[in-house]
């Protein structure tokens, strides 16, 4: 019956390029796949890092990579393909040496993320989810990089490039194409997408602590708290010369007077002023009977019959 055929608006969705059998997977790769599977009580839990390892070797999710994962885990290739085609971090076509992602979600979009993506696309001469003919750069639209305080944000090989502008984006792309060294705003020196994929697979490159891990916007709240003398329960004595800091210290001193503690001791601020202070038990102190000890527990249980009663 004509006129009722289903038309897909996503012809490439869910497909791995099975027409390209090329692969660099060898016995070393198989050994590392088995190593990953051995790290988990249930070997199948290793499938996600195993797929990242496949990408680090073949630059994509290859037919051979799917077969290797299925063989090591003892599952079907259909099960592996189902996972590989569900997550956008797994590429079904060869990715570039550098993988560039531009966030266009919410705050990044408001701050110019769409303009950044359009600029990158025009400058590279490719569309979203495409790779330049020389294989240097691939481009992707990212759904939230979880870095709203640095919007608009781009990522290169999953490393942050913060507070971007169209001019910065063009300069960054030119450096990546020319092989100029590039450093992440809050991370390490950029290597390649394949090397980053190997790290995601669970094989560290020893550069986790290279470069700063936090920027000024992320630390602003901490600095305000220090200036105001705000402290969370369990923190040291409130400090700061602001009004909040002085009031907090006054409260602490008042509690110390009531409880008889000193500045070197931690006052029990949860104890009311009229409550008696606890003392060490003595031999003459009365002890609770077993029935009295069980009574409160039984009353609590009676409010939740699904837990049953104490035996």
Instruction: Quickly tell me which residue has 């919410």 as its tokens.
Output: 106
The yes-or-no verdict on residue 269 having pLDDT over 80 is no
Same domain for 106 and 61?
no
Q: What is the structure's pLDDT at 39?
A: 96
Is residue 102 classed as helix, strand or coil in its secondary structure? strand
pLDDT in tens, 133-165: 999 999 999 988 888 889 999 999 999 999 999
pLDDT tens digits for 169-179?
A: 999 999 999 99
Is residue 197 scored above 90 in pLDDT? Answer: yes
Query: In the structure, what pLDDT confidence band is assigned to residue 236 with cuts at 50, 70 and 90?
Result: low
Q: Are 89 and 125 within one domain?
A: no
pLDDT band at 301 (very low <50, low <70, confident <90, very high): very low
Give the pLDDT confidence score for residue 306 in this predicted structure. Answer: 45
Assign 34 to helix, strand or coil: helix
Give domain status of residue 39, yes or no. Answer: yes
DSSP code for 183: B
Cα atoms in the 13 Å half-sphere on the side-chain side of 21: 0
- 13 within some domain: yes
Number of structural domains the chain divides into: 3
Burial class (CB in 10 A: 0-12, 13-18, 19+), 10: exposed
Domain stop point among 94, 117, 145: 94
Is there a single domain that holds both residue 131 and residue 90?
no
The residue segments making up the domain with residue 73 are 7-94
Query: Considering the domain boundaries, does residue 231 fall inside one?
Result: yes
Q: How far apart are CA 97 and CA 184, in angstroms?
A: 16
């Amino acid at each position: 019956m004509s006129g009722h055929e289903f038309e897909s608006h996503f012809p490439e969705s869910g497909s791995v390029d099975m027409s390209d059998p090329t692969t660099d997977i060898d016995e070393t790769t198989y050994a590392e796949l088995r190593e990953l599977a051995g790290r988990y009580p249930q070997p199948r839990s290793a499938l996600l890092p195993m797929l990242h390892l496949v990408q680090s070797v073949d630059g994509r999710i290859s037919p051979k990579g799917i077969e290797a994962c299925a063989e090591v885990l003892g599952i079907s290739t259909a099960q592996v393909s189902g996972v590989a085609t569900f997550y956008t971090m797994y590429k079904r076509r060869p990715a570039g040496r550098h993988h560039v992602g531009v966030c266009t979600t919410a705050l990044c979009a408001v701050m110019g993320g769409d303009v950044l993506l359009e600029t990158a696309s025009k400058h590279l001469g490719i569309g979203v989810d495409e790779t330049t003919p020389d294989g240097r750069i691939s481009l992707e639209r990212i759904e939230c990089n979880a870095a709203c305080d640095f919007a608009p944000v781009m990522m290169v090989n999953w490393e942050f490039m913060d507070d971007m502008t169209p001019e910065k984006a063009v300069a960054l792309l030119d450096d990546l194409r020319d092989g100029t060294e590039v450093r992440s705003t809050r991370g390490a020196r950029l290597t390649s997408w394949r090397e980053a994929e190997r790290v995601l697979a669970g094989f560290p490159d020893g550069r986790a602590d290279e470069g700063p891990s936090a920027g000024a916007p992320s630390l602003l709240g901490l600095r305000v708290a220090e200036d105001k003398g705000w402290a969370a329960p369990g923190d040291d004595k409130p400090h700061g010369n602001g009004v909040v800091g002085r009031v907090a210290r006054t409260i602490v001193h008042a509690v110390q007077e009531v409880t008889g503690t000193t500045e070197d001791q931690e006052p029990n601020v949860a104890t009311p002023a009229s409550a008696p202070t606890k003392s060490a038990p003595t031999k003459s102190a009365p002890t609770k009977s077993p029935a009295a000890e069980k009574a409160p527990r039984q009353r609590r249980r009676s409010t939740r019959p699904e837990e049953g009663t104490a035996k």
